[in-house]
Structure 1
Amino acid sequence: MSAPAAAEPLCLADVERAAAAVLPAAVRDFVAGGSGDESAQAANRTALDRVRLVPRVLTAVAEPDCAVDLVGTAAALPVAVAPMAYHRLLHPDGELATARAARAAGVPFVVSTLSSCPVEEIAAEGADLWFQLYWLRDRGRVRALVRRAEAAGCRALVVTVDVPVMGRRLRDIRNAFGLPESVTAAHLTGGAASLAHERRAGRSAVATHTGSAFEPALGWADVAWLREHTRLPLVLKGVLDPRDAVQAAGAGVDAVVVSNHGGRQLAGAVPSVTALAPVVDAVAGRCRVLLDSGIRGGTDVLRALALGAEGVLLGRPLLWGLALDGAAGAELVLRLLHTEFREALLLSGCRDAAAARGLGTVTLA
């Protein structure tokens, strides 16, 4: 009697488990790991689970509308693919495959500065693109990246502001992690790019490379300079303090992403979802607010909306899907998320995302 076929994943956790079984340990650790003791990463999940929703009833909703506008980009659900480095570590098609999945799902794809495929090739896949910008030591290279993103048709710029240095990720250090020669930072060729491949005991080659390339002293004057040099919507990712969110709104920023970088930067940082409501209250509609870090299902998306976010960025689950089955695996992740979010809207009595933002919540002690 033949063995039963492996069951298709039914949730994002199933996808992660299946991907973990097929990935090399060092690559799995690179994706899964956090900084320091990884407590910030664990706290993201714990804090989300403590947010309980108060559903409405008798709202006469039979078919909820999942579609939203995300910072000027139409999206089939309130989700964008978060910027993540080096997708070709997970699958040979890399970001091209992830972009195909984003296009099929109708959600924006945020291309990382550390993408392993160039933005021009990703744009050819037809997804709506935003471009994530790490601030480089050479401002001329920053300007060139911005112009390149604009020319490729990117619809927003996402500046990551919580990486003056890369957080100390112990798994990568223990693994002496470095990129294989077949994977490169497509937008950072030349110069010190080879550092990302130079494996040495007791260090992360990826951290060495970013330390040489990234500007550690990014400040509000740089944000003002960028605001003057692009007409694209400007999003700051990595905001946790309401005071920074208020200053961002005053600087002409269109949106902030409340994020602790998936627990990969400051090891003791507050969980992103815990910081969300205070940021929403502080900006009082002067800029839009998104949430990142720890999203693992449709109920998490609904939690974010109920706490005031307009949408979320989804990270690691897309990489697990990519590792499992390329574009089809990433598309499966987004399809599962859409199914779960639609059901969450229906079960909570919400007609659409706007109604979800009016849901009550209780945070358990």
Structure 2
Amino acid sequence: MAYAGSYQSQVFAAGGSPFPFTAKGLEEAALDNLPREYFDYIAGGAGSERTVAANEAAFSRWGLIYRVLRDGVAADASSTLLGTPMSVPVMLAPAGVADLAHPEAERAAARAAERVGAVQVLSAVTSVSLEEVAQAAPRGRRWFQFAWPDDEKLARSLIERAEAAGYGALVVMGDCYVAGWRTRELSSGFFPFRHAHGLGNYVSDRRFWELAGFGSMPEDLDDLTSEMVAAAASTWNRVFTKPALLPEDLAVLRSWTRMPIVVKGVCHPDEATRLCEAGIDALIVSNHGGRQLDGGVAALDCLPPVVAAVAGRVPVLFDSGVRTGTDVLIALALGADAVMIGRPWLYGLAVGGQAGVEHVLRSLREEFTSALALTGHRRCSSLSTDDVFPVVPPHGPRDPGSGIARKGATRS
């Protein structure tokens, strides 16, 4: 067995790791490290969190098919998407308010992604400005999540800033335009934006302060008065997203930027078709990690129909419920070109800052690369539905080994 040079060999040489290797272990460690209201904001979902559970459980309904014939050529997990190279098809999802997990927040995540060769998709709601995140990892690869503000000047300002700072694609946030019914947050009474968490991209924008009723941007953004914080939170809540998003709006967006345009939150094949016809460059199948709509269909169940509707016209990415390297492989076998992870990297950030995020990314890359080889592949591009088979769900969402092949089942 080849361990030389791998992350596994490094862990063995060090006599172990300070960080857990399972998604559950990382979640429990993050709970131990964080104030409860911070943890609940990060971990929580909508309502009774049935969509969160469904997202994870969906992966257990697919089994991977093991292969033994091989040519000895090592598996290569790298890929390129919209001109952006990555060492593994796992991207850091745009998870907001990361400073609840660690003071270095998105900057630590940017440095971790740079070191591992992964792509960071920066949230619209960050602890510091998009420029500061770019400066933290100047050789990193990053995309920018665009929450389309209900003010054209602010929208164009954010896009121009992202373009100038070297972001490689614009990810339109389609799946968070109405606040979900998040019971954990309601129970704690904690709304981070009231305390200026997550407003880094806004308080660093001159147009935002005009909308807030101030003549100019404050000189010291680290020392805002209580009046300024209240005005910023109120203004953000008012203009965060415009109420409508229609296919024809994408032509307007195209006129504002040279960056590729990606739409996140696509779960219906008809919408995927309309967006392709509108000229998007890629789309992301996602239900916002179950944070918006309780009782929703698992995002993974939406992936094959969307892939079929797209029919190869644009890349399809996947987000929601990915926890392991084999989850990554299942999503790619079902048609995704890359996946995103949200809660896992935030948990890694909470337990170890930059090193914790690196640990999460390296672990996923190692497990995925191993699974890629064990299913008979050298490259991600050769994965297909021939590599997965539908199985009966196990008793628990992550209870390995208890699935049984369903009689008469066919591949989808």
TM-score (norm 1): 0.91
Quick check: 2:62–2:388 contact (8 Å CA) kept in 1?
A: yes
Identity of aligned residues (%): 43
Deviation at 1:6, TM superposition (A): 8.2
1:16 and 2:16 are equivalent in the alignment: no
Alignment partner, residue 257 of structure 1: 284
CA distance in 2, matches of 1:220, 1:67: 32
C-alpha distance in 1 between matches for 2:341 and 2:16: 29
Determine whether 1:350 maps to 2:377. yes
For residues 212 and 230 of structure 1, the distance between their equivalents in structure 2, rounded to whole angstroms, comes to 21
Instruction: List gaps (5 residues or longer) in structure 1.
Output: 199-204
Residues 227, 252 of structure 1: 8 Å contact kept = no
Which piece of structure 1 moves more, 269-278 or 175-184?
175-184
Q: What do you get for the CA RMSD once the two structures are aligned? A: 2.4
Post-superposition Cα deviations, 1:229-270, rounded to whole Å, max 9, x if no partner, equal 212111100000011111111111111100000001121221
- After TM superposition, the runs of 4+ consecutive aligned structure 1 residues lying more than 4 A away are 4-7, 191-198, 205-209
Q: Does 2:283 match 1:270?
A: no
C-alpha offsets along residues 115-140 of structure 1, whole Å, 9 cap, x if unaligned? 11111111111211100001111121
**1:319 Cα deviation from its structure 2 partner:** 0.5
The AA in structure 1 aligned to 2:164 is: A
Aligned to 2:217: none
Q: Helix, strand or coil for the counterpart of 1:309?
A: coil
Bigger shift: 244-253 or 210-219?
Answer: 210-219
Give the Cα–Cα distance (whole angstroms) in 2 for the partners of residues 195 and 41 of structure 1.
Answer: 37
1:15-68 alpha-carbon deviations (Å, 9 max, x no partner): 222111111100110011111121111100111111112233303244200000
Match of 1:138 in 2: 151
Aligned partner of residue 248 in structure 2, secondary structure: helix
Is the partner of 2:265 in helix, strand or coil? strand
2:89 is matched with: 78
Specify the alignment match of 2:141 in structure 1.
128
Residue 240 of structure 2 corresponds to: 213
Displacement, 1:183? 3.1
| 2:78 equivalent among 63, 67, 84 | 67
**What is the one-letter code of the residue matched to 1:274?**
D
Please say if 1:338 is aligned against 2:365: yes
Asked whether the equivalents of residues 96 and 198 of structure 2 are also in contact (C-alpha less than 8 Å), the reply is no
2:191 to 172, 178, 200: 178
1:91 equivalent among 102, 107, 111: 102
Measured after TM superposition, the shift of residue 299 of structure 1 is 0.2
Aligned residues: 356
Answer yes or no: is the 8 Å Cα contact 1:79–1:311 preserved in 2. yes
1:135 is matched by which residue type in structure 2?
Answer: W
SS at match of 2:197: coil
Is the 1:196–1:208 contact (alpha carbons within 8 Å) kept by the matching residues of 2?
Answer: no
CA distance in 1, matches of 2:227, 2:179: 15
Partner of 1:363: 390
Instruction: Report if aligned partners of 1:195, 1:208 keep a CA contact under 8 Å in 2.
Output: no
SS at match of 1:220: coil
Query: Partner residue of 2:328?
Result: 301
Looking at structure 1, the residues matched to 60 and 96 of structure 2 have their Cα atoms a distance apart, in angstroms, of 27
Name the counterpart of 1:286: 313
1:49 aligns with 2:76: no
Partner of residue 256, structure 2:
229
Larger radius of gyration: 2
Measured at CA, do residues 88 and 5 of structure 1 come closer, stay the same or move farther in structure 2, by a change above 3 Å? same
User: 67, 78, 102: which is aligned to 2:113?
Assistant: 102
Aligned residue for 1:167, secondary structure, equals coil
Q: Quick one: distance in 1 between partners of 2:332 and 2:233?
A: 34
